[in-house]
Structure 1
Amino acid sequence: MERLQKVIAHAGVASRRKAEELILDGRVTVNGKVVRELGIKVGPSDKVEVNGVPLDKEEPVYHLLYKPRGVISSVSDDKGRKVVTDFFPHITQRIYPIGRLDYDTSGLLLVTNDGEFANLLMHPKHEVDKLYVAKVKGIPSKEKLRLLEKGIQLEDGKTAPAKVKMLSVDKKKQTAIIEITIHEGRNRQVRRMFDAIGHEVLKLKREKYGFLTLSGLSTGDSRELSPHEVKQLRAIVTTKGHRLN
């Protein structure tokens, strides 16, 4: 079940805000009855009409994008910067990213028009692992890395325990490459975690999302998820207590 205005927006009839106006104006019916409440939810079997025209439900699509640095994880940008949907000119559905990667972070990002699927994956209780590789300024000690593993206090609360692995160090340049796996999705979380132990992130890339990887893709490339992969993702988030390793 999804909110009516969201269903209308996903069908490409209008933006979410415009859809809300259509509902309030009494121009939307559900199963033959005029609806003026924004909070109402509808399911696949409900018949929705806008201005007397039946809503054509979009076929769900699921894509994996290797997001480059310097791209906004959004469907539009008021400053005219490149957004992730610019990489899908062939897609007619109203797609959007599942979660986000920062403007200056590259890596694996999922894109869909399936709101229920997106909400499942983004819900923190489902704990989908996300693996990042960070290049940081300075060489963190084992003690500092253990702080990240135990969970570290940020301004918006303590983080959940992370998995951390030192991949390499450059003593001459005083930098380190570190792999870190988290399952939360706070704003700029990985960067803030390293800032908290005194090591600025110089470069950041998300290499895995659950079992999905960037294998075979170059920056800016994308591919459609297979039905089996979509099914696997659903299974992960709907199996209580399941955690990826």
Structure 2
Amino acid sequence: MRLQKFLAACGVASRRKSEELIKDGFIKVNNTVIKEMGHKIDPNKDIVTYQNKRVTISEKKIYILLNKPTGYVTTVSDQFNRDKVTDLVQINKRIHPIGRLDYNTSGLLLLTDDGELTYKLTHPKHKVEKVYIAKIKGTPSKDNINKFQKGLEIDNYKTQPAYFEILNSQSDMSTVKIIITEGRNRQVRKMCQAIGHPVISLQRIAVGKLNIGNLELGKWRFLTEKEINYLKKL
């Protein structure tokens, strides 16, 4: 089995993130640092370690929905020692976030030790809808809304078609509903900035058919079997 696939299966990180861990020299096989991307291992014989702890494939996977507060980073480690989303979920298994919510964004975040599911849900080709409620400065014109929905040029790429609806508007601020099918870095904030209406606050309320519901900020719950099966069929 390829090392990055093994790490994903163990729940260390997504396959993409596992490749970064290998490249940066964080993974050892039989006490030897491996940086070769195509390296293959025998899960039944080779000893793989990350942060000096052996990693193994677990049969029972964990699937969690968290209502992330602002002020937490969506990573399993942070060089600046900031609070991490995994600090909010105290369980005796190594889990990682599916995708990201930036430091100042709150709302629905999925965490798991299922690296294969993470890989599938974060791949752009699956176009999983992410629903956000944002407070933005000012009130966008119909022309700007149309541009937003058709796709915008940001960071040298054009965004996929998106949904934009004004829920209510005041003199200097609007509350809007935004739906995107990508998950690029700070995408919603950059798109709003591109039409001249910077984000004041941002919350993700749904991923596909999974909704934040009445889950309190900072709290989490396990996904139901029905929800897990839904994600696997996306």
**TM-score normalised by the chain length of structure 1:** 0.80
Equivalence map 1:157-176=2 (5 Å): 157-171=157-171, 174-176=172-174
Give the drift of 1:67: 0.5
Letter in 2 for 1:194: C
Number of equivalent positions: 218
Q: Percent identity of the aligned residues?
A: 41
8 A contact 1:49–1:55 mirrored in 2: no
- Which residue in 1 is equivalent to 2:15? none
Q: Measure, in 2, the Cα distance between the counterparts of 1:55 and 1:106.
A: 31
Q: Where does the alignment leave 5 or more consecutive residues of structure 1 unmatched? A: 27-34, 237-245
For residues 22-50 of structure 1, what are the alpha-carbon distances to aligned partners after superposition, in whole Å with 9 as ceiling and x for unaligned?
Answer: 25839xxxxxxxx996524579xx52431
Quickly say closer, same or farther: Cα 1:147–1:20, change in 2 above 3 A.
Answer: same
SS at structure 2 position matched to 1:47: coil
8 A contact 1:137–1:202 mirrored in 2: yes
Q: Measure, in 1, the Cα distance between the counterparts of 2:45 and 2:176.
A: 50
Letter in 1 for 2:79: D
Equivalence map 1:80-229=2 (5 Å): 80-89=81-90, 91-171=91-171, 174-229=172-227
Q: Measure, in 1, the Cα distance between the counterparts of 2:160 and 2:45.
A: 42
Quickly say closer, same or farther: Cα 1:76–1:56, change in 2 above 3 A.
Answer: closer
8 A contact 2:11–2:113 mirrored in 1: no
- Which residue in 2 is equivalent to 1:239? none
8 A contact 1:164–1:179 mirrored in 2: yes
For residues 184-218 of structure 1, what are the alpha-carbon distances to aligned partners after superposition, in whole Å with 9 as ceiling and x for unaligned?
Answer: 11111000101111011000000110001111201
8 A contact 1:191–1:200 mirrored in 2: yes
- Which has more radius of gyration? 1
Q: Measure, in 2, the Cα distance between the counterparts of 1:41 and 1:226.
A: 34
8 A contact 1:8–1:19 mirrored in 2: no
Q: Where does the alignment leave 5 or more consecutive residues of structure 2 unmatched? A: 13-17, 49-53
Quickly say closer, same or farther: Cα 1:170–1:108, change in 2 above 3 A.
Answer: same
8 A contact 1:132–1:208 mirrored in 2: yes
Give the drift of 1:228: 1.7
Cα RMSD over matched residues? 2.7
